[in-house]
Structures are given as C-alpha cells and as structure tokens.
C-alpha cells in the first residue's frame, strides 16, 4: 500500500513539469500562469506561424538529419573497431570517442566557436552539424557496440567459408545482424540532437539556430504561453516518433530491454 | 595402392603471445578418409582446423590442398565446407536461405539453387522445415541444417569443429551414426575436431591425438587404443594403469614392492633396464587362484553394463579393473588379481 503511494508520488513528480506545460499551453491569457483561466489555441497558432520558429524547425531537421547520417557510419566503424580489433590502447580510444558525454557542453561549444571563428564559418550550418555529430557519436557507438558484442564472429567465418568475400560478408551477415543496434543508434542520435541546446547556442546565429535555441531566445524576450504550446507540440512529436518506432520495430527490442532474442 | 593426400600441413606453427598453440604440425589427410583431431581443450586441435579453413594465419609452415600452397589464400577462396560447434546458422535467414548462401555467393542460377538446396536438405533428412528460421529448430535439426549448408557447395574437404558437442547424449549417438553414413555416401574427405574419445574411435578412419600443440600419435582407432605411442595417448584414450618396472629377464619384470610379473612384449627385455608398462582395465582379471596377486578392494563403481573396481596390491601399487558382472564387493575386501602376461604394453 505504502509502496503504491510512493510509486504514485514518484510518477506524479516525474510527469508534473510536462503536465504543467501542456495545461499552460491552452491558457488564453498572455501570461504564463498556472492554473489556466480558460481554453484557447491562439498560442499554438502563434507558435506555428512565428517565422523564426519555422526557420529554426527547418534548421533542426537539417542539422539532426545530417549529423545522424554522418554519425551512423562513423560510429558503426568505431564500434566494430573497439569491440573486434585487437587495439593496443583500447581504453584510450574508447575514452576519447565517448568523451563528449562527460566534457561540459560549454567547453565543446566554446571550442567549436573558436574554430568556427578561425575559419570564418560562424554563419554556416556546417559547424552545427559537425558539433552535433560529435555529440551524438558516443550514443551511436554505445548502441552499435552492444550489437557488435552480441554478434557471434563464427557467423562471419561461416559466411567466408561459404565463399563470401569480406564486403559480401559485411552486407549479407554483419549489417543485417547489427540492425537493432543501428535503429537504436539513430533513435538516440535524433533525440539527443533535437534536444541539444548548450553547444548549439555557442555556434548558432539567428539564421542557423535550431529550435531549442530559438525557443530559449523567445523565452528571454517574451513570456506568453507560445513557448508552452511549442513545447507541447515537441512532446507530442516525440511521443508519436517513439510510438511509431515501437509499433514498427519493437522499441524494447531495440533498447535491449528484457529478452533480446 | 597410392592414397592421395588432399590436405597437407607442413611444419605449421602458431603462437598467441607467449602461448604456443601449435608447435609444429605435420599432417596429411587422405582422399575420402575421416580423420579426427582428438585432444583435451587447449591442445591446438581447433587452431589446426582454423588454419586449414583459413580463419587463422600460421606463423610458420604451409597448408596445401591438393598439392597447391593455400597458406596465403583467404577462407572465402578455399572452397572448404565448415560446420561449427555453435552451428553458426544465420539467424536472420530461413533454413533454405542458409543452405543457399554459398550457392548464391558462387553466382549459381535460381533453378540450380532450388534443386541443390532441396537435395542437400533431403541428404541430411531435413525436409519440411526449409521456410523456418534456425531459432525455430531443435539442436539436432540445426546440426543437420549446418551440415547441409556446408555440403551443398560440394567442398573439397569437410571440416567439423566438435559438431556433436552441443547435443544431448542420446541424440549425439544417433547423429554420430548418421554423420558417418552421410560422410560415406558423399565420400568427402573430412577433418573432424573432438575432445570425445568415443566419438573419435567410433567415427574415424584415423585419429591424430594432439597434446600441447603437437601430434602425439597418428593412427587408426585400433592402433591408438591398442598400441598407444606415449603415456599421454594411453591416459587420454581409454582408462589405463601405468606401471614403472625394472626388467629381471627377457620376459619378466619387477614392479614396486618387489613383485615379479611375467610379461610378453614384442621385444625381449634387457635385464636391469627400466620399462614403463601399461595395462587396460578390461585386461585386469579379478578372482581366486594360485597365480593371483593378493590385493584389497579400495573402490567400486557400478556403471550398468560394467563395474569399475580399484584395487591396491600388497606393495601399494594401485590398479584399475573393469568387470562385466558385478561381484558383490566393497572397499576393504581382499581379492586376487591376475595380470596376464600378454596384457601389457610398453609405452614411452
């Protein structure tokens, strides 16, 4: 009984911020107040028609798509090397590749800012894409590495003994068996990149900024519930993406929850 | 009759760090024979197989197939069939796709693939499961599928790595018989790795007993069992008792405790020389009589079709005996032991 209450409180506590934002987004007044004083969709209209948000959304799609697309092959190669190759300094390479997880975003952001300024790329999306690629790489490597570790090397030997040259072995055996890890990698990369704020803030301009940065700028300048409406849309989109992934691919299998055979 | 050597290993060495996995292997596998590599784990038998398959590159020495040096040739160009201990069936393909894999890689046309796959599955008596995934098959069926996949490409040599080890005992014995039948029917030269002496004795035409990266003895099952070349072979294949002895006459020795035993070895002994004698437990006779040695029973193990009895001679020498009918014996019982003169083998 007490256990149930505790669990209930915990779940309530965890979902409270989300619930507050969702409820506040329907507030008809121009102040972010809680509880709301009525029901209105005007802030949704504002969020969807605000030009800077539209531009930032396009930037988000481009940056996230490009960084995921770059990080996937790089991360897969890195995971294969880390798990399979008899590397002399495996620990060193592993730490280097996973370091973006522990290095403060401020430091990474500053580093990219200095480099971007040096090469005159401050207004270029390429810097954002490069930064996001670095940031999502550890997640890609981790996801793929789990699949690589679960892959029996004898399967590849079997394929080779049956006459498949290395490239064919990779295409017909290695890659299909890594698929769950690759899907998980893409999912993590997209979630991390879409929500990335700190590093992006350093290397964004008004023209290249992605949604989280645009939302921050908006909140600094205005206090109306547009932000809450946009956040709700964000939450909804993420939910749909996750549900679709689960329906189509089986999320628990991808995330290695429970039995993965 | 000139038997043709299909696979030849010449002075093959392989080290992993400071571990010498293969310390100079010379071996020839003859056309159509089933040769077993037998030994304890870590003896280098699987490494030897992997060197033949092309999965492991030897540090020194050569691998020849039909006389051609293939040492530097990658596995995918060797044209050998391999059955792995774990079967290594591709889990994302159906049984038919698994079996078709090698044919597709060779660019065979569709009709030919369908026909060959059907024939291969029929050969291993695996019909009606072509569209299932390996995960849906029992261990025995997976084993057959792996065998079909290896045989369908008509390999020059079939390599089997502990193919029966993952099966339970009953099934293992069935598959052993069947494996031999299939190998005979196809007439394929086969190299077979096992740690199971019964498997090696029952299946093979010849056995290479391996230890510490070397071949201790190469011979027919009868030869390695009845005339083990070394103490290791004697110990590893079948149970046995080894006695250290000193020759008294050409046909008599003295063992520990001053016991005199008559022996009949292929060569006359030189009085005073040291010899190491081996006696198999089924040749040790228990019973009463004037020509028996006095002993005490120290252990009895009933094993169904035979019973193992451990006895200790008055001199402290211990012997293992197996008897068909189980006498009502218990530890501490006195018993007579007869050691027939022709039961002894001399080993190195």
Residue range A207-220, pLDDT digits in tens: 899 999 999 999 88
B249 and B153 co-located in one domain: no
Of B120, B140, B97, nearest to B186 by C-alpha is B120
Residue B340 has pLDDT above 50, yes or no: yes
B50 and B103 co-located in one domain: yes
Interface test with B, best of A151, A155, A161, A253 (most B CBs within 10 A): A161
Q: DSSP E strands: which ranges in B31-184? A: 34-38, 60-65, 68-69, 81-83, 157-161
Q: Do A161 and B76 touch (CB under 8 A)?
A: yes
Residue of B nearest to A162 (CA): B102
Give the burial class of B348: count Cβ atoms within 10 A of its Cβ; 0-12 exposed, 13-18 middle, 19 or more buried. exposed
Domain's final residue, options B234, B265, B289: B234
Share of chain B above pLDDT 70, in %: 99
Of A106, A107, A171, A133, nearest to B92 by C-alpha is A171
What backbone phi and psi angles, to 5 degrees, belong to B289? Answer: 140, 165
Residue A162 has pLDDT above 90, yes or no: yes
Interface test with B, best of A162, A169, A175, A180 (most B CBs within 10 A): A162
B226 and B245 co-located in one domain: no
Q: Nearest CA to CA, how far is B229 from chain A (Å)?
A: 35
Residue of B nearest to A152 (CA): B88
Q: Could you tell me the two tokens for A215?
A: 């939302």
B198 and B251 co-located in one domain: no
* B314: containing domain: 241-347
Alpha-carbon gap, residue B306 to B324, rounded angstroms: 5
Interface test with B, best of A159, A163, A166, A180 (most B CBs within 10 A): A163
Supply the DSSP symbol for A175: H
| Chain B residues whose beta carbon lies within 8 Å of the beta carbon of residue A168 | 105
CB of B183 closer than 8 Å to CB of B155: no
Of the two residues A110 and B259, the one the predictor is more confident about is A110
CB of A193 closer than 8 Å to CB of A64: yes
pLDDT-wise least confident of A140-154, B59-73, B96-110, B252-266: B252-266
Chains A & B: contacts with CB separation below 8 Å: 67
B77 and B169 co-located in one domain: yes
**pLDDT at residue A164, as a whole number:** 95
Residue range B291-301, pLDDT digits in tens: 888 899 998 88
For B207-229, letters b (16+ CB in 10 Å) and e give bbbbbebbbbbbbebeebbebbb
Q: Do A152 and B88 touch (CB under 8 A)?
A: yes
B223 and B338 co-located in one domain: no
**pLDDT at residue A254, as a whole number:** 54
**pLDDT at residue A250, as a whole number:** 64
Q: 């969709």: which residue's tokens?
A: A41
Cross-chain CB nearest to A161 (options B53, B89, B92): B53
What's the number of domains chain B is made of?
A: 2
Of A143, A167, A151, A124, nearest to A72 by C-alpha is A143
- Domain CATH code at residue B275: 2.40.50.140
Residues in chain B: 348
B261 and B315 co-located in one domain: yes
Domain's final residue, options B181, B212, B234: B234
Is pTM beyond 0.90? Reply is no
Q: Nearest CA to CA, how far is A91 from chain B (Å)?
A: 20
**pLDDT at residue A240, as a whole number:** 85
CB of B183 closer than 8 Å to CB of B124: no
Domains observed in chain A: 40-254 (1.10.3720.10)
Of the two residues B313 and B99, the one the predictor is more confident about is B99
Q: Do B55 and A168 touch (CB under 8 A)?
A: no
Q: How confident is the model at residue A261 (pLDDT cuts 50, 70, 90)?
A: very low
Q: 């003169």: which residue's tokens?
A: B341
User: What's the start-to-end Cα distance of chain B, in Å?
Assistant: 31
Give the burial class of B133: count Cβ atoms within 10 A of its Cβ; 0-12 exposed, 13-18 middle, 19 or more buried. middle
Q: Could you tell me the two tokens for A121?
A: 């790329």
Strand ordering across the sheet containing B34-38: B81-83, B157-161, B189-194, B34-38, B206-211, B214-219
Mean pLDDT over B112-135 rounds to: 92
Residue of B nearest to A165 (CA): B76
Alpha-carbon gap, residue A142 to A19, rounded angstroms: 32
Beta bridge partners of B9: B27, B63
B187 and B98 co-located in one domain: yes
- Is some CB atom of chain A closer than 8 A to the CB atom of B153? yes
Selected residues 25-54 of chain B with any CB under 8 Å from a CB in chain A: 53-54
B58 and B156 co-located in one domain: yes
B192 and B336 co-located in one domain: no
Interface test with A, best of B47, B52, B54, B75 (most A CBs within 10 A): B75
**pLDDT at residue A251, as a whole number:** 58
Interface test with A, best of B90, B151, B165 (most A CBs within 10 A): B90
DSSP string, B184-223: HHHT-EEEEEES-HHHHHHH-SEEEEEETTEEEEEE-HHH
Q: Could you tell me the two tokens for B94?
A: 């159906």
| Chain B residues whose beta carbon lies within 8 Å of the beta carbon of residue A163 | 76-77, 79, 102, 105-106, 153
Q: Is the dihedral of CA A130, A132, A134, A139 positive or negative?
A: negative
Selected residues 93-112 of chain B with any CB under 8 Å from a CB in chain A: 101-102, 105-106
Q: At what angle do helices A211-221 and A51-84 cross, to 10 degrees?
A: 140
Alpha-carbon gap, residue A143 to B15, rounded angstroms: 34
Q: In whole angstroms, what separates CA A54 from the centre of its chain?
A: 20
Write the CA distances from A216 to A31, A210, A219, A231, integer angstroms.
17, 10, 5, 11
- Please calculate the CA angle B29-B35-B38 and round it to the nearest 5 degrees: 125
Residue of B nearest to A261 (CA): B135
Q: Do A157 and B102 touch (CB under 8 A)?
A: no
B59 and B150 co-located in one domain: yes
**pLDDT at residue B293, as a whole number:** 86
- Domain CATH code at residue B25: 3.40.50.300
Q: How confident is the model at residue A258 (pLDDT cuts 50, 70, 90)?
A: very low
Residue A253 has pLDDT above 50, yes or no: yes
Q: Do B82 and A161 touch (CB under 8 A)?
A: yes
Mean pLDDT over B67-76 rounds to: 94
Q: Nearest CA to CA, how far is B162 from chain A (Å)?
A: 14
Interface of A with B (CB under 8 A): 152, 154-155, 157-166, 168-169, 172-173, 176-177, 261
Residue range B9-55, pLDDT digits in tens: 999 999 998 888 999 999 999 999 999 999 998 899 999 999 999 99
Residue range A35-55, pLDDT digits in tens: 777 788 888 888 888 889 999
CB of B199 closer than 8 Å to CB of B237: no
pLDDT-wise least confident of A19-23, A70-74, A194-198, B323-327: B323-327
Quick check: bond before A35 cis, omega within 30?
yes
Beta bridge partners of A258: none
pLDDT-wise least confident of A161-165, B92-96, B280-284: B280-284
Share of chain A above pLDDT 90, in %: 47
B222 and B314 co-located in one domain: no
Supply the DSSP symbol for A178: H
Residue of B nearest to A168 (CA): B105
Alpha-carbon gap, residue B22 to B314, rounded angstroms: 44
Q: Do B55 and A160 touch (CB under 8 A)?
A: yes
Alpha-carbon gap, residue B195 to B200, rounded angstroms: 8
**pLDDT at residue B170, as a whole number:** 84
| Chain B residues whose beta carbon lies within 8 Å of the beta carbon of residue A153 | none
Q: Do A165 and B135 touch (CB under 8 A)?
A: no
Mean pLDDT over B237-250 rounds to: 87
Number of H helices, E strands in chain B: 8, 20
Domain's final residue, options B234, B261, B277: B234
């Amino acid at each position: 009984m007490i256990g149930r209450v505790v669990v209930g409180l915990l779940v309530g506590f965890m979902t409270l911020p989300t619930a507050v934002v969702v409820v506040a987004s329907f507030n008809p007044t121009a102040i972010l107040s809680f509880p709301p004083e009525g029901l209105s969709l005007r802030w949704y209209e504002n969020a969807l028609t605000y030009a800077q948000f539209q531009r930032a959304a396009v930037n988000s799609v481009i940056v996230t798509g490009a960084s995921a697309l770059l990080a996937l092959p790089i991360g897969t190669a890195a995971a294969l090397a880390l798990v399979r190759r008899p590397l002399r300094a495996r620990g060193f390479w592993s730490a280097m590749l996973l370091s973006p997880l522990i290095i403060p975003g401020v430091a990474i952001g500053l580093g990219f800012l200095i480099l971007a300024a040096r090469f005159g790329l401050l207004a270029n999306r390429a810097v954002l894409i490069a930064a996001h690629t670095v940031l999502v790489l550890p997640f890609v490597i981790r996801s793929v590495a789990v699949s690589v570790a679960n892959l029996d090397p004898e399967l590849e030997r079997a394929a080779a003994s049956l006459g498949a040259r290395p490239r064919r072995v990779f295409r017909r055996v290695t890659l299909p068996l890594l698929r769950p890890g690759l899907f998980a990698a893409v999912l993590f990369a997209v979630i991390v990149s879409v929500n990335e704020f700190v590093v992006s803030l350093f290397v964004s301009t008004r023209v290249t900024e992605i949604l989280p940065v645009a939302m921050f700028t908006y909140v600094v300048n205005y206090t109306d519930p547009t932000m809450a409406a946009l956040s709700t849309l964000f939450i909804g989109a993420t939910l749909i993406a996750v549900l679709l992934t689960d329906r189509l691919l089986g999320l628990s299998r991808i995330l290695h929850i429970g039995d993965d055979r | 009759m000139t038997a043709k050597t299909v696979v030849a290993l010449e002075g093959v060495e392989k080290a992993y760090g400071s571990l010498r996995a293969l310390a100079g292997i010379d071996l020839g596998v003859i056309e159509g024979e089933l040769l077993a590599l037998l030994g304890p784990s870590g003896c280098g038998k699987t490494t030897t197989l992997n060197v033949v398959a092309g999965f492991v590159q030897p540090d020194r020495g050569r691998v020849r197939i039909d006389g051609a040096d293939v040492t530097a040739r990658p596995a995918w160009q060797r044209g050998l069939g391999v059955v792995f201990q774990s079967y290594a069936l591709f889990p994302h393909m159906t049984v038919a796709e698994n079996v078709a894999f090698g044919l597709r890689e060779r660019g065979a046309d569709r009709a030919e693939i369908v026909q060959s796959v059907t024939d291969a599955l029929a050969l291993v008596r695996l019909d009606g499961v072509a569209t299932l995934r390996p995960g849906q098959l029992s261990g025995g069926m997976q084993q057959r599928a792996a065998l079909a996949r290896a045989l369908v490409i008509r390999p020059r040599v079939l390599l089997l790595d502990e193919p029966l080890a993952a099966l339970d005992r009953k099934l293992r014995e069935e598959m052993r018989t069947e494996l031999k039948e299939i190998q005979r029917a196809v007439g394929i030269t086969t190299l077979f790795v096992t740690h199971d002496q019964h498997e090696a004795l029952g299946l093979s035409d010849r056995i290479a007993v391996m230890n510490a990266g070397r071949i201790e003895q190469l011979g027919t099952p009868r030869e390695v069992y009845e005339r083990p070349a070394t103490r290791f072979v004697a110990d590893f294949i079948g149970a046995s008792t080894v006695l250290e002895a000193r020759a008294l006459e050409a046909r008599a020795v003295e063992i520990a405790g001053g016991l005199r035993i008559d022996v009949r070895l292929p060569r006359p002994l030189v009085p005073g020389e040291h010899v190491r004698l081996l006696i198999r437990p089924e040749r040790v006779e228990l019973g009463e009589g004037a020509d028996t040695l006095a002993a005490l029973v120290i252990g009895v193990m009933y094993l169904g079709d035979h019973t193992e009895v451990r006895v200790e001679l008055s001199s402290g020498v211990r012997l293992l005996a197996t008897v068909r009918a189980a006498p009502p014996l218990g530890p501490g019982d006195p018993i007579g032991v007869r050691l027939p003169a022709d039961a002894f083998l001399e080993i190195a």
